Structure 1
């Protein structure tokens, strides 16, 4: 059964009703079997689309993709759409860049087939505060610790009844969804799988490097571990510290006390009596009982005669990693991060020389999956420990759609299809619903102000809004385009105190524009003006 939206009244009142009931009405619309099937197919199959040809070959996927940008009428215009998708967006003369209708540019930018940069998230749907907070979450504990955020998240999936069952939710959120026997997959409620998939905490945890874990564990903790006893009394920090040097947590407290209290400046200290050099590096990470020496080899004193205290090697590493502004996706990224590189070499006792850095580069660039690679055959375990700090992977050769891309395109398609259905009942309501998105798309294109006005002229719905709000006759579009530009800018200044298109995305000005359009459409105050009176309208202060 075809969904027929309810539109009560027209003009401002009709729009107010539609805006108030949109969520309920659109939810009913999205339950239409055809619409639901198209959305599901797009969500399931897009990840396998690697080229524009593959997208063009699947009519359903292409229909949803085009519909998400309001380009439904181009579904059979295949040669033209292929040229749009294959446009080189870095070339101002490419087809997508030259078209006045910026929907085509937004379409090409989103899928970005002509660039190695891959697909890009759309900008049409503004992220609300909740979405921003959810995107910042890194673990299930982060979500479970924020009760209001947890409640809002559960409500999105209809799972608010589980709000107090945090142990259960933790098992769900940390499930490996690729394992059919994982906790979430064994639950009878399919919404729990969707809930876990939305956050993908398991995937985020798997993607973390040992360095990430060290930073997460020790950040903000160094003021609380100033002595050996402090560290031994904190089992979480102690275990993580031991793992840095691939040491087990099986040693007695007395043994670890002797290790950590060793004076690393004294060759006769306990730690140097051990055959395993890792214990010396473990003790050196904290240097609890190792004074800073002056140039004469004596304990260094400050101006007040107190022993000089320096940050531990581990603290220096954590702070350098936290302060690192760039990503660490490759060995080169690490080697270029001077402070972090030097701190890591120092932590593992690797001499900071040109020769050692060259060896580090070769080891970090070796493949751990190959038995004969340098990282697997080099005898010095310090370099292996350094290698294990990171989680370097070969760059993806396949196109990867960013998180949220499929959902965003699908939702934009559903939004526009609902608006089309509304337009069957009242075309004015469709235009009013789409105004913010269409106008923002023009502004986001980043072109000059005049070019933005030309884009408005090229967009039938935007032209209709501005001509209606500016009280221009229906025959206005028949005059010279440069004269149209002049009139539109003049009327914008007259009615809204600005001729800058970008200013119309301001919420108050946007709402005023919409209201003026709806009032104009409802009253049909201008009616149908003839070409003969255009000049008088232009010259008047109407």
Structure 2
């Protein structure tokens, strides 16, 4: 049986508990029988795989490969996954470079089937990297089964920290956020935006996200979230607004917390 994360409270109070116990809970999750079976099989067999076709033909290996990048739902899309992997990332026309979801690019880049004569699967440290990512993502999914907002908050820290390091413009970073469903959900909620904003022209959306970021964080640049304290502030705002929107906590208490956080008293 897979370990079930313990989240005793919803909202920001639950997030604080999860943060304080995450290392111990992740370790307990990693020791679950199912996770152990998955990672042991991957570690023992991935070095024998040298083509995308071989990977997608092995369900157990593909499960870990996709799971490490949060692409679990693609497990039965073998033709699509094989095409993404086999074309690699070096050619501008490669499928991974055309997809708005950057997880596919990361998957293709990590395995290197279409980039090198000898793929990364044969490297000695390759299994550990993929397994670590797999364990982390599967723990997030398990957390999400208890509380989806907690999963989004966990996902935010790593993804946003990586995004701010991208060699691109700040507008480009905002476009990446708008095109990433998980990140977009966190930002829309934290900034008090309706989901209908996605129907607007992209330039209009960009302006709205920038204006709201300036209002709540006193800066409009995504690069501000390289600061862990700023990311924590974003998570706090997201979780408090989420509770207020869902009505799962006292309206007065949530409203007061939100007012204090946004300085609207």
TM-score after normalising by structure 2 = 0.85
Residue 207 (structure 2) aligned to one of 480, 483, 486: 486
In the alignment, which residue of structure 2 is the partner of 1:392?
none
1:518 and 2:239 are equivalent in the alignment: yes
2:142 matches 1:421: yes
Aligned residue among 400, 416, 424 for 2:122: 400
Counterparts of 2:125 and 2:219, CA distance in 1? 36
**Structure 2, unpaired ranges of 5+:** 248-263
Match of 1:372 in 2: none
Alpha carbons of structure 1 residues 3 and 459: separation in structure 2 relative to 1, 3 Å? same
Q: Distance in 2 between matches of 1:61 and 1:31?
A: 19
Structure 2 CA distance for partners of 1:80 and 1:449, relative to 1, 3 Å: farther
Contact 2:42 2:60 in 1 (8 A): yes
Distance in 2 between residues matched to 1:495 and 1:102, nearest whole Å: 27
- Tell me what 1:470 maps to: 191
How many aligned residue pairs are there?
249
Flag the structure with higher helix content. Answer: 2
Unaligned runs of 5+ in 1: 121-398, 527-541
Is 1:60 matched up with 2:60?
yes
Cα displacement (A) at 1:450: 2.7
Q: Aligned equivalents of 1:491 and 1:88: distance in 2?
A: 37
Indicate how the Cα distance of structure 1 residues 487 and 508 shifts in structure 2: closer, same or farther if over 3 A, else same.
same
Contact 1:111 1:118 (8 Å CA) reproduced: no
Look up the match of 2:108.
108
Quick check: 2:70–2:103 contact (8 Å CA) kept in 1?
A: yes
Could you tell me which residue of structure 1 aligns to residue 5 of structure 2?
A: 5
Q: How far did 1:119 drift?
A: 5.2
* Deviation by residue 1:148-176 (Cα, 9 ceiling, x = unmatched): xxxxxxxxxxxxxxxxxxxxxxxxxxxxx
Q: How far, CA to CA, are the matches of 2:118 and 2:241 in structure 1?
A: 44
Alignment of 1:410 with 2:135, yes or no, is no
Query: What is the TM-score when the length of structure 1 is the normalising length?
Result: 0.43
Report the counterpart of residue 44 of structure 1 in structure 2. 44
Distance 2:99 2:76 in 1: 19
**Alpha-carbon deviations, 1:404-436, whole Å to 9, x = none?**
321121011111111111111110111111111
Q: How far apart, CA to CA, are the structure 1 residues paired with 2:134 and 2:22?
A: 15
Distance 1:449 1:485 in 2: 10
Q: Give 4+ residue runs of structure 1 displaced > 4 Å after superposition.
A: 117-120
Aligned-pair RMSD on alpha carbons? 2.3
State the distance in 1 between where 2:217 and 2:70 align.
Answer: 28
How do residues 137-148 of structure 1 correspond to structure 2 at under 5 angstroms? none
Matches within 5 A, 1:181-330: none
Provide Cα deviations, 1:7-55, integer angstroms capped at 9, x if missing partner: 1111111011011112222222223222210110011111111111111
- Bigger Rg, structure 1 or 2: 1
User: CA 1:79–1:417 in 2, change beyond 3 Å: closer, same or farther?
Assistant: same
- Secondary structure at the residue paired with 2:103? helix
